[in-house]
Chains A and B, each alone.
Chain A
Amino acid sequence: MRDSALGVRLAGAGGLSGWLRMVLMAAGSAAAVVVVFTSFGLARVVDRQDARAQHIAPVLAADAGSANVNAVLIADGWERRELRRVVLASDVDVPTPPGLSRPPSAGEVMMSPALERLAATEPLIAGRFPQARGPLIEPEGLVAPDQLLAYLGAPSSEIGPLSSVVESFGDPSASSRLDPRAARTIAMLIALLLIAPVVMFMVVCARLSANSRTQRLVALRLLGLTRRRTQLVNASEIGVTAAAGSVAGLIVWNGWLWLQPEVRLGVFAWYSSDIRLPVWQQCTIVGALVVTSVAVAATASRDAISQPSRTRRDRSSRHISPWRLAPLTAGAVVLIVARVRADVTALDDFESWVLLFGAGLGLTAIGLVIAAPLAAVFIGRTMMRSSRPPVLLAGSRLRHDPSSTSRVVAALAVALFAAGVAQTVAVALDRSAADNQHRIPAVVNLEIIGPATDANTYQSLSALAEPLASFRIGSPGNEIDAIAATCTQLRAATIQPLTDCRDGNVQLAQWTEPSTNNSSDPVYDALLAEALADAALPSPTSAPLEMTIPFVEATSHPQSSCHHSSPRLPRAGSTSRSLQTSTTLRRSPPHSPHNRPPQSGTRSSHRSTGSIPPAYTEASSPPEPSPR
């Protein structure tokens, strides 16, 4: 009989208990495969989404002559998510965006599936896209399944003075919504944090029924099997179980991804194809896990195989070497070094610090498992001083069989660790879900990416439905944020009914925040009056309008750079679309995001997308250079 065949035979032998043991060990391997695949897959998602972002990013011509313009890029927002619109000229040659078979025609919108779903449930979003619906954007043209993206078609006469020349799609300099380096580092850290307990878990699984397996191997050695052949039997027994479990995990993981083309984890979403590892990588991981299991079993059985008589005579009183403390000590030292370096490490060196920290963490975790028998022996010796028989017996058991006891402790530790991680994830997901329930429409946060022109031109763009005007008036240091809009527009932009809104009035916006005391503040009122006078605006004539705060929430959005600047205002006497407007006012707080200095960047943006009564424009501050 071939030794490997005997090992395979022994793997599931022994009736129901044997099968149960094998199933448990295989399940451990399967779980390990799923966790490791997911860990590595998360790191891959970052790169894949970065590549997708580059794939769909428009390449803008350096010199956008007005005769050639063919697109307007608009960054918008919904809750905390970016809503990106790309308006393409329908009557000139434009490149076909990725994920579409053709560019949109005039008056047509082609949405991402997520945007279409959102528009179906949110009237405010649906109101932003009154155009005829075209085909959906295919996954090839999206960064993630939850991306809110729309391609709209408009006559080039509307786009004319506005915008950019999109030469093609696929900008290698573009990046995804997350900083790829930071995201990769975080993914690496998560992987390390996950893989360490997985290794511990595998050790525990590989050592299930270790005593009976040791006795089997000893019996084979006594029969006359050589060390090498006995190890081969051992490796075959563990290897076939680990391989079966790993393959099962591989099938489960790939099957799950096959059944779920889109994967969602709380606020995160990605395409299954992005997290799916290449076949060679899957095979390597499975192979490595099987080898790890075999190595663990071989190492644990080494003494029994080399000295079968000693194991047989005194199977439980093994000497526990103090060297077992070495990995734990090394891990602690690495963690201390990482802690010291954390204060002096430059951001450029962050990745290597994460590796150091992760290595320390992994070493400490594994060291805890390896050192556990030493602690068991120590505790056992202490307990054996007791005169109470139960304590004495328990102490004796600990003293003479510390490995099996510590395996139980290690298994419990791993279970607790896994439960802790699961609880942390659950809390995070729950919190993100709770955050999402705090819905704050942000219609006024429109950002036009491209060369700066006047706001009236945006007003003429049919691809934008009911644009508002949001601008800043007053002298520097004494400024007021103002929105010029009809009451209907304001109602569409907020979640309040705004029953006190009156068209044609100047009204104070009473921005409500959950944690803010909205009672009257004399200092604020005085500053407001001063600003109003400075801006040559009449005093508010109606009751304050309570509005939810789109500005504050929007500052957390990556695309909210428009708040860092004063908007460019339209020329006096320009054509106005809204003839009867209500103007709401809010004074900029001294240290609000509105007053931050402009940040460097490549995009120019406009917060203003509507018409503004000429009277207000005369009182406004002069246009400032466009930020970012």
Chain B
Amino acid sequence: MNAPSLLKADDLSVRFGSTDALVGLSMEIQAGEFVAVVGSSGSGKSTLLQCLAGIVRPTSGSVLVNGERMERWSDRARSEWRLSNIGLVFQFGDLLPELSLLDNVRLPLLLAGGDVHAAAGRANDVLDRLGVLGVADRRPGQVSGGQLQRAAVARALVHSPAVVLADEPTGALDTTTGQLVLEALLEAARERGSAVVLVTHEARLSSYCDREIVMQDGSIVQPVAS
């Protein structure tokens, strides 16, 4: 018997006005696996990620979390689930520019009701693991793009989420830095046992993942097992 899927998209469709962002998409994510979602711009990759995170409500179909249909949850339930179980990394980091990297990284722990000092300790550990502890007291505007993305990765991993959803995390970085950030992300996720869904339009990055899903016009066109 297969292990139960952590997240499952079942015939997922999302429509924005007259545009179909996702059309009858189905997929599963198992615990601890790394999945690359590739495709051209506008193929629906980011929408899929936001559906999986409970940020966007599907027009039809379902996202199943441990067998429960997420669209039946309240906004509050989805938000709380996301806070505890999802780590998000975006192309531009999306850290709060007013807070230091350390404060940004420990924010998920604090928002979840964690102790301030314990949160700082864990945040320091992750920052150290990702090699940006030295700039932990700087604000996002005061560090390089690579350091910023490492901090964003640290924020996504600090609470050991079940799934890390990364939307073009290296899109704004040069190749070398992007590769370093991606390796750091995958390595830290592997240590914590987190599954990773990596959305990218760079096909070469999919080589780091267990599985690749190719999307086009809102649908999966080529599910490939590594």
Contacts and interface: CB of A to CB of B under 8 A. Distances in A.
Contacts of A160: none
B76 A228 contact: yes
Contacts of A216: 96-98
B160 to A, nearest CB: 14
A309 B110 CA distance: 23
B80 interface: yes
B111 A225 contact: yes
Contacts, number: 68
A8 to B, nearest CB: 12
A3 B79 CA distance: 15
B94 A219 contact: yes
Contacts of A3: 111
A13 B97 CA distance: 9
Interface string B72-98: 000110011111101010100011111
Nearest to A15: B139
A222 B96 contact: no
Interface in A530-584: none
A564 B11 CA distance: 96
Nearest to A10: B98
Chain A, interface SS category: helix
A222 B107 CA distance: 12
B110 A226 contact: no
A265 interface: no
A224 B83 contact: yes
Given A15-B139, A216-B96, A223 B50 contact: no
A229 B83 CA distance: 12
B99 A225 contact: no
A308 B55 contact: yes
A526 interface: no
Interface in B42-93: 46, 50, 53, 55-56, 75-76, 79-84, 86, 88, 90
Contacts of B146: none
B110 A1 contact: yes
A225 B110 CA distance: 11
Interface residues of B, number: 28
Most central of B79, B81, B82 by chain A CB within 10 Å: B79
A14 B141 CA distance: 10
B218 interface: no
Given A1-B116, A224-B82, A224-B86, A219 B75 contact: no
A221 B55 CA distance: 9
Contacts of A228: 76
Nearest to B49: A309
A216 B75 CA distance: 19
A226 B79 CA distance: 5
Interface string A218-258: 01111111111100000000000000000000000000000
Most central of B76, B94, B96 by chain A CB within 10 Å: B96
A313 B96 CA distance: 17
Given A216-B98, A225-B111, A14 B139 contact: yes
A212 interface: yes
B56 A224 contact: no
B108 interface: yes
B50 A221 contact: no
Most central of A226, A227, A312 by chain B CB within 10 Å: A226
Nearest to A13: B98
Contact of B79 (A9, A14, A219, A224): A224
Interface in A155-171: none
B95 to A, nearest CB: 7
A18 interface: yes
Most central of A9, A14, A15, A224 by chain B CB within 10 Å: A224
A257 to B, nearest CB: 37
A463 to B, nearest CB: 73
Contacts of B116: 1
A227 B45 CA distance: 25
A223 B81 CA distance: 10
A324 B80 CA distance: 35
A220 B104 CA distance: 10
A532 B56 CA distance: 101
Given A1-B110, A14-B139, A309-B50, A225 B98 contact: no
A1 B55 contact: no
Given A224-B79, A225-B79, 17 more contacts: A3-B111, A6-B110, A10-B96, A10-B98, A14-B98, A14-B139, A15-B139, A216-B96, A219-B94, A219-B95, A222-B53, A222-B55, A222-B94, A224-B82, A227-B79, A309-B50, A309-B55
Q: Which 8 A-B pairs have the closest CB atoms?
A: A224-B83, A1-B110, A13-B98, A14-B98, A224-B82, A226-B79, A226-B76, A309-B55
18 contacts: A1-B107, A14-B139, A15-B139, A18-B98, A216-B98, A219-B95, A222-B88, A222-B90, A223-B88, A224-B81, A224-B82, A225-B111, A226-B76, A229-B111, A308-B55, A309-B50, A312-B94, A313-B46
Interface of B: 46, 50, 53, 55-56, 75-76, 79-84, 86, 88, 90, 94-99, 107-108, 110-111, 116, 139
